[in-house]
Structure 1
Amino acid sequence: MKATIERATLLRSLSHVQSVVERRNTIPILSNVLIEATSAGGLRLMATDLDLQIVDTIEAAVDTAGATTVSAHTLFDIARKLPEGSQVEITAADGKMLVTAGRARFNLGTLPRDDFPVIAEGDLPTKFELPAETLKQIIDKTRFAISTEETRYYLNGIFIHVSDEATPLLKAAATDGHRLARVTVARPEGAEGMPDVIIPRKCVAELRKLLDEVDGSVEVSLSGTKIRFGLGSAILTSKLIDGTFPDYSRVIPTANDKLLRLDPKSFKDGVDRVATIASEKTRAVKMALERDKITLSVTSPENGTAAEEVPGEYTSAGFEIGFNARYLLEILGQIEGDTVEVHLADAAAPTLIRESDTAPALYVLMPMRV
């Protein structure tokens, strides 16, 4: 195999694929990236961790077609340190790969292409397109609520499903048992009848990185066990989480009759300030609600106390409620408008947070005892 490629093109492609590769691998081939030079001209780079696979196709001048595998992180580090604007020549033969650029030469060990595992996709019957911006919004507004508890593996991803309401919708939800984030968008054409799927956390992270380089739409194909995203020159394929996501709609409160309206920025800043003294263990912030007066306070046995009044509209009966400060800040960080609505019932019931009743995203937060 012999090919010449521009450093910037190679670096961008390697940055896409190498992040899928785990730093520590018991199986040596999984540390490698598969590089295929086609006779038609162009390079195909592929990396996998057996659950997630990314393929990126880039332009290159190919002298001799062929394929080999080489350490993904090593090649990425080399490309990163090569001079800007240089032409990189890659030659592979007899178990070695020679990388030359300008006066720099690297001789790397390779492993045979035939040992490289490929995720068999099978048939992916459901196919639809989503604008890249919509997909970004779905990920950004839900992924902070994905659970990291391995024992509840079915919560380790974003749950995506369709619902046949008066307006057909595509819904995405994530929860860790303490908070829930849900986003709804119009159901894209072709998504009707799709199976309910849970997209794993690692796939979500890689997809979000790739979306920054996509302008138009993303092609989504899926079955009950796998999902594939077509992102321009890159194709991301992932196994889905094999589990049943809980019926989250049961925890979305519908009868919370106490409405608090706030400016999300001043509320977030206030929570952030008083939480400075909260101990790592509790992270609890107390909200005392009175008519048009909201007092935030934190009491920490080690550090002392803090309190701040924040402006807000509230006309119901006064009471006190506590929340995990970090969870509250993460939700408020997703609010883009000038107002946030907090729908409350009592100090022990789930609280609903959203921009308005027409906003695509809503959040549910369980209170804490304070």
Structure 2
Amino acid sequence: MKLKVDRTILLKALAHIQSVAEKRNTIPILANVLIEVQDGQMTLTATDMEIAIIETIQAESLENGAVTAPASVLYEIVRKLPDSAIIELTHTSIDMPLSLRAGKYATSLNVLDVEEFPSMTSGDFPHNFQISTEVLRKLIEQTRFAISTEETRYYLNGIYFHITNSENENKLCAVATDGHRLAKVECTMPEGAENIPGVIIPRKTIYEIYKLLEEAEEDIQIMLSDTRIQLNFGSVTLTSKLIDGTFPEYERVIPKNNTKVLRVGKQDFATAVARVAAISMERSRPVKLSLDNNSLVLSASSVDQGNAKEELDGSQVQYESTPLEIGFQARYLNDITDQIDNQVEFILADNSAPTIVRDVDDPSALYVLMPMRV
């Protein structure tokens, strides 16, 4: 195998690839990237046996062939080469290293047998549809903060995508929860998605998809089976296993009878929460919301540091129900208000029942937050 490739093009592809390659080296071949050269194209593949990413880029192929090389080492070398470098890769036989040259720089990398490199991309995907980059980014961006990191509840370690019926219209719905807060976002169901199974996309896959979405411009093609998902981003294809588990019946935890409504400006509220929460270094310390007629007082206290409070008045607050005191973890409040642009709506019952949080200007998103004892 022999090729020449522009450093900028190769670096961009390796940045996508190397984050998937297994770095713990429990299976050595999984730390490598598979490089295949065929008639003017260079294809790079990495996998950890849960996710696989394949990217095809343009290269000057001087001799077709394939080789595997350490993904993270190759990435670091290419990253530190000059921007304008033209990289030449040469591999002559299975028992020889991969030679890399760029100008006056030269190095060689140990390789592993191409035949040992596993494939994750074969098999059938009976469901196939397209979704816009903007819509998929929103579904992920507004729910990923609520993904659980508790490994014993593995079925919560991802985002649950499924079709639901809302106001007599089928919607594609994304839901994530960690038991303390829940995020649910809906969009119009894409054509061809009506029969897809409900699937849980793992947390690591979600973050790899989100990184690719930052550069994507065209619609994303999604293919699904009961156990795997494949997404095509033009020259990049990501394939991932799905979480084999049953997502809980989340609709049961969304309150139906909350009647007390608080509306407050997002910026006023978020900055006030941050200021009063600064009194305590404990991440789980609650912020107390004391509600009265068109008045909201936020307060927090710490045994070691003292206490703090801030009042938002009628020019910033709309609340016309009976007085209420309720506490929430500051970080959870901020995670949710980060998803909201202008005005936040809290729909409350009492100081121990789940609270619904909405963006007044965006009915497609709904959040549920469990209170804390204060």
Deviation at 1:357, TM superposition (A): 7.8
Q: Is 1:334 aligned to 2:339, yes or no?
A: yes
State the number of aligned residues.
Answer: 368
Which one is further off, 14-23 or 63-72? 14-23
User: Would you say the 8 A contact 2:52–2:121 is kept in 1?
Assistant: no
Equivalent in the alignment of 1:22 = 22
Counterpart CA distance in 2 for 1:189 and 1:199 is 20
Deviations 1:276-331 (A, max 9, x none): 11241632110000111100000111111000012311000001000010000000
Residue number among 299, 318, 327 corresponding to 2:323 in the alignment: 318
Counterpart CA distance in 2 for 1:357 and 1:264 is 12
Aligned-residue RMSD, C-alpha:
1.1
User: Would you say the 8 A contact 1:121–1:226 is kept in 2?
Assistant: no
User: Would you say the 8 A contact 1:161–1:195 is kept in 2?
Assistant: yes
Equivalent in the alignment of 1:54 = 53
Residue 133 of structure 2 aligns to which amino acid in structure 1? A
Equivalent in the alignment of 1:7 = 7
Deviation at 1:253, TM superposition (A): 1.3
Equivalent in the alignment of 1:242 = 244
Deviation at 1:118, TM superposition (A): 1.1
Deviation at 1:120, TM superposition (A): 4.5
Equivalent in the alignment of 1:262 = 264
Counterpart CA distance in 2 for 1:268 and 1:353 is 14
Residue 342 of structure 1 aligns to which amino acid in structure 2? F
Give the direction of change, closer, same or farther, for the CA distance of 1:107–1:358 in structure 2 (3 Å limit): closer
Equivalent in the alignment of 2:149 = 148
Residue 175 of structure 2 aligns to which amino acid in structure 1? A
* 5+ residue gaps, structure 2: none
User: Would you say the 8 A contact 1:292–1:312 is kept in 2?
Assistant: yes
Q: Is 1:368 aligned to 2:372, yes or no?
A: yes
Alignment of structure 1 residues 265-284 onto 2, 5 Å: 265-280=267-282, 282-284=284-286
Q: Is 1:33 aligned to 2:1, yes or no?
A: no
Equivalent in the alignment of 2:210 = 208
Alignment of structure 1 residues 1-370 onto 2, 5 Å: 1-38=1-38, 40-94=39-93, 95-165=96-166, 166-280=168-282, 282-310=284-312, 311-336=316-341, 338-356=342-360, 359-370=363-374
Residue 185 of structure 2 aligns to which amino acid in structure 1? V
Residue 58 of structure 1 aligns to which amino acid in structure 2? I
Residue 78 of structure 1 aligns to which amino acid in structure 2? I
Residue 285 of structure 2 aligns to which amino acid in structure 1? R
Which one is further off, 303-312 or 234-243? 303-312
Deviations 1:138-158 (A, max 9, x none): 111000000000000000000
Deviation at 1:252, TM superposition (A): 1.1
Residue 89 of structure 2 aligns to which amino acid in structure 1? I
Counterpart CA distance in 1 for 2:12 and 2:90 is 20
Counterpart CA distance in 2 for 1:175 and 1:193 is 24
SS of the aligned residue for 2:111 comes to: strand
Deviating beyond 6 angstroms after TM superposition, the runs of 4 or more aligned structure 1 residues are none
- Tell me the TM-score normalised to structure 1 length: 0.98
User: Would you say the 8 A contact 1:295–1:309 is kept in 2?
Assistant: yes
SS of the aligned residue for 2:110 comes to: strand
User: Would you say the 8 A contact 2:283–2:331 is kept in 1?
Assistant: no
Counterpart CA distance in 2 for 1:25 and 1:334 is 38
- Tell me the TM-score normalised to structure 2 length: 0.97
User: Would you say the 8 A contact 1:260–1:313 is kept in 2?
Assistant: yes
